Amino acid sequence: MNDELNSPQRAHSSSIIRHSSLPTLLTLGTRWTFVGGKGGVGKTTTAAALAISLADAGEEVLVLSVDPAHSLGDALGVALGSEPVDMPGVPRLRALEIDAAREQERFLGSHRRALLLLLERGTYLDREDIDSLVDLTLPGADEIAAVFRLLDLASASERHVVVDTAPTGHTLRLLDLPGVARGWLAALEAMEEKHRTVALGLVGAYRPDDAAALLGRLREELDELAAIFSDPERTRFVLVTNTEPVVLAETRRYEAALTERRIALAGIVVNRADAASLPPEAVGDGMVVVPRLPGEPRGPDGLRAFAASAGAGPGSEASTIDGPPELRAGNPFQPPLGRTLYVVGGKGGVGKSTVASALAVQLARRGGGRVLLLSVDPAGSLAEVLGVPVNAEARAVPGVEGLAAQQLEAESAWRSFQREYRAEAEQLFAGLMGGGGTAEADRRVVERLIYLAPPGIDELMTLVQVVELTEDRPYDAVVLDTAPAGHLLRLLELPAVALDWARAVLRMLLKYREVAGLGALAGRVLALTRDLRAVRELLQDPAATWLVAVALPESLSVAETRRLLSRLRGLGIAPGALLVNRALTQDGAVRGSAEILALRSLAEAVPFAGTTDESTGPVGPDALAAFASRWREIVPPKSS
């Protein structure tokens, strides 16, 4: 049967062999095992447990995280950085958390001279502008550089590599990075082509140098990376899910997306399954069931217990102890009315989509006017939560007067901007085409500058659309369901970076003013700079924007919530509240949890509240409204 699975046709099929235990997912002869799934399903725990199981079996293993919101070190119980360290208590296992920003710095440190040379001789920018552009550009270069580092680490030894990935939407973007990177590589190649045209025109000869050699090496490495991702002999995915309908639906979409990209699936781990919640679709070929365990598996022993429990059948619910005497449930918690933008953020899997949907229903029914519930998560789940179709066009939600829902498509908005930019660039140079090869080379350079936009600017376009909505006022309030914390933070940091990039492009266009004029192209970029400033101002205005951070009473969620709140304050964005999902029992008491106390200490001056622990997630407006009605403030006990 392993031979059958290893065949290309079988590897790309959604029907695969049954596995009896978690470690057997790794005994398939591949070098790379990517562990993916919706945020909060247990990807990091599964990746760490798989790596320890493989090392215990005698393999040399490297486990690493490429999630911007790292929690691998928290799961393993060790402090991790960007260099591999030996794992105490687990011979043959090394671990690290890849820092994409640091890897981009490393990449630029090695190739900066060649990149500067390409920009200097391929554009009319001066050296100061070029320095700025190199620091801001190459979309996906941070993540590409991180993956190149991953390749270097793997090639340095014969270790099996287990990769803890980011939540669904952004891991699929990571897998698509070779194609994205070819866009900015084409822009750099256009600059080298201009240099070649000028050299041939002036001296009749062109001699490739280090800059040209760099372009060749990068193209080869991107081709190799794409080949590794799609080679079932080298790479397979393990998907992690649980029994919640919203999560199972996303897992099915994830599996289809992997098949579309011709990436082989090793198996599916159904985490936290119990007898009452194990649906028929969660049992079958390729499925490994991990029962709901008491406590959180942390450190080598806890992770070994997690791996050993896989395939043992449904377990029992973890026991609940009385609430801590330091805290009690207080008054009903209601978000404020009158804000223009409501942002719901947090670690993957904490219930952001459910909270955002409940918040939107609550606002509409409390008289908040016309409300738009908007998802900017590439793997949005609003349709499953609301129980109605949600797509790229805003549609009314039945049963809630004044409420509409929409799934924004970042790539679509960015592709539209790119098409318009390229058309205007072509028009800008249309009158110069009789000027010879140099004019044509200049046109290609300006046209492809759009590919040098900062990483994530496609997602930033969704925030630009939000600003347009708030300015045009078709809605009184917009509720934003965001991507998981790491990518939300990158999105919130982007306006300042993208603003610098747009200004650099404007400066470059000014260099062409005497040759071609500026026309509509400069006007488009100038409009983008205005929109980016408006995004930044909206997010930093507490009278207009209210941000609620959602957490779970779990140690990994505590660590990530601490980082999220700290980074938000560093960006000048004031959190409006901290809401702990599943913090209350059905009768409204605070669950006994040291993690709830730890989260309370993070709330500082912002409201701190909790939601009830639902056996299944609320689906539909009425269930969401009932869910929101049970939100309570969590406060110290009254003085006796």
Q: What is the DSSP letter of 435?
A: G
Highest mean pLDDT among 196-200, 376-380, 386-390, 600-604: 386-390
State whether 549 and 608 are in the same domain: yes
With beta carbons less than 8 A apart as the criterion, state whether 141 and 184 touch.
Answer: yes
| Residue ending a domain, choose from 309, 339, 363 | 309
300, part of any domain: yes
Highest mean pLDDT among 38-42, 545-549, 584-588: 545-549
315, part of any domain: no
State whether 294 and 337 are in the same domain: no
State whether 97 and 39 are in the same domain: yes
Average pLDDT estimate for 247-256: 84
Residue-level pLDDT at 13:
34
Average pLDDT estimate for 133-152: 64
State whether 232 and 380 are in the same domain: no
The answer to which of 66-70, 164-168, 216-220, 334-338 has the lowest mean pLDDT is 66-70
Q: How confident is the model at residue 293 (pLDDT cuts 50, 70, 90)?
A: confident
424, part of any domain: no
Question: How many domains in the chain?
Answer: 2
Please, what is the average pLDDT of the chain? 75
**What CATH number should be reported for the domain holding residue 13?**
3.40.50.300
| Domain housing 167 | 2-102+146-179+227-309
State whether 286 and 352 are in the same domain: no
Average pLDDT estimate for 21-25: 57
Separation CA 289–CA 145 (nearest Å): 35
62, part of any domain: yes
- Interval 496-544: pLDDT, tens: 767 777 777 777 667 665 545 556 666 777 777 787 788 778 888 888 8
600, part of any domain: yes
Q: How confident is the model at residue 487 (pLDDT cuts 50, 70, 90)?
A: low
The answer to which of 309-318, 390-399, 470-479, 621-630 has the lowest mean pLDDT is 309-318
State whether 239 and 91 are in the same domain: yes
| Residue ending a domain, choose from 259, 281, 309 | 309
439, part of any domain: no
Say yes or no to pLDDT of 262 above 80. yes
Average pLDDT estimate for 594-622: 79
Say yes or no to pLDDT of 264 above 70. yes
Residue-level pLDDT at 204:
67
- Interval 83-132: pLDDT, tens: 888 888 889 898 888 877 777 777 777 777 887 777 777 666 667 666 66
State whether 70 and 22 are in the same domain: yes
Average pLDDT estimate for 267-273: 83
DSSP assignment of 551-593 equals: E-SSHHHHHHHHHHHHHHHHTT--EEEEEEEEEE-TTSPBP--
State whether 164 and 236 are in the same domain: yes
464, part of any domain: no
Q: Which of 3, 67, 86, 613 is catalytic?
A: 67
Residue-level pLDDT at 8:
34
State whether 380 and 280 are in the same domain: no
| Residue ending a domain, choose from 309, 344, 377 | 309
State whether 360 and 236 are in the same domain: no
Active site residue 67: yes
Edge-to-edge order in the sheet of strand 608-612 = 328-332, 632-635, 608-612, 575-584, 545-551, 341-346, 477-481, 371-375, 403-407, 395-396
Say yes or no to pLDDT of 321 above 70. no
State whether 174 and 236 are in the same domain: yes
Residue-level pLDDT at 437:
53
Say yes or no to pLDDT of 213 above 50. yes
High-pLDDT (> 70) share of the chain, % = 73
Q: How confident is the model at residue 361 (pLDDT cuts 50, 70, 90)?
A: very high
State whether 288 and 343 are in the same domain: no
3-state secondary structure of 174: helix
Burial class (CB in 10 A: 0-12, 13-18, 19+), 162: buried
CB atoms within 10 A of CB 216: 11
517, part of any domain: no
